Amino acid sequence: MGSEFNFKIVMEKRDNIYENDYYSVYSKKSSKIKHDNTKHYPNKDEASLLRNIMRKTGLSEEQIRSNAKYRKMLSEAQKSSQKSKFDTKEEKFYKDLIKRACKETGLVPQHPDTLVVLQTLIKQEFSRYKSWFHPRWMSYTLPLKAETAVKRYAKS
């Protein structure tokens, strides 16, 4: 009987938490914005650059943001941070093939023997996906030549 009572208390507490903010996001930045959306909260790269500038110049955040030179630097840092850091499916596909070709030959991607092996791997993979099941990006792209794939996707 005592365990049922404790269970009801826990459920009541849980219901009270989710009643007030049903669509809550659990990150520091979003919760800060939720409480005061008039203030600007910088992302990670912008904040680190801002701290570095403040340390070097001794200026406050407001003074830095009023200076056009620093404002442009902060804007570029914010934009670079927003770019996706993940590979597209096509990039991942070709990087995997390049890695397999290098492993098979034991040579660098730019070597002619590796390029021959890579070209055969590309042909095999694209012919394998000629059936009804294929990744969506493969339906509207042609297979790259081995040299082009190495130039685009291999590490320099």
Per residue in 16-70, pLDDT (tens digit) is 444 444 444 456 666 777 777 787 888 888 999 999 999 999 999 999 999 999 9
Alpha helices in the chain (DSSP H): 2-20, 28-35, 44-57, 61-66, 68-82, 89-105, 112-128, 136-139, 146-153
My answer on whether 93 and 141 are in the same domain is: yes
> Residue 139: is its pLDDT beyond 70?
no
My answer on whether 56 and 101 are in the same domain is: no
Counting the structural domains of the chain, the total is: 3
My answer on whether 58 and 8 are in the same domain is: no
My answer on whether 144 and 108 are in the same domain is: yes
pLDDT at 7 (0 to 100): 46
Q: 81-124: per-residue pLDDT in tens?
A: 776 666 778 888 899 999 999 999 999 999 999 999 999 999 88
Among the listed residues 143, 122, 118, 139, the one whose alpha carbon sits nearest the alpha carbon of residue 130: 139
My answer on whether 101 and 47 are in the same domain is: no
pLDDT at 18 (0 to 100): 45
The residue among 84 and 71 whose pLDDT is bigger is: 71
- Quote the CA–CA distance of 66 and 52 in Å, as a whole number: 16
- Quote the CA–CA distance of 127 and 119 in Å, as a whole number: 12
Least confident of 52-56, 75-79, 152-156: 152-156
My answer on whether 47 and 77 are in the same domain is: yes
My answer on whether 34 and 59 are in the same domain is: no
User: Hey, what amino acid is at 25?
Assistant: V
My answer on whether 110 and 143 are in the same domain is: yes
Boundaries of domain holding 11: 1-39
My answer on whether 77 and 94 are in the same domain is: no
My answer on whether 103 and 149 are in the same domain is: yes
My answer on whether 19 and 31 are in the same domain is: yes
**How many alpha carbons lie under 13 Å from residue 5 in its C-beta half-sphere?**
2
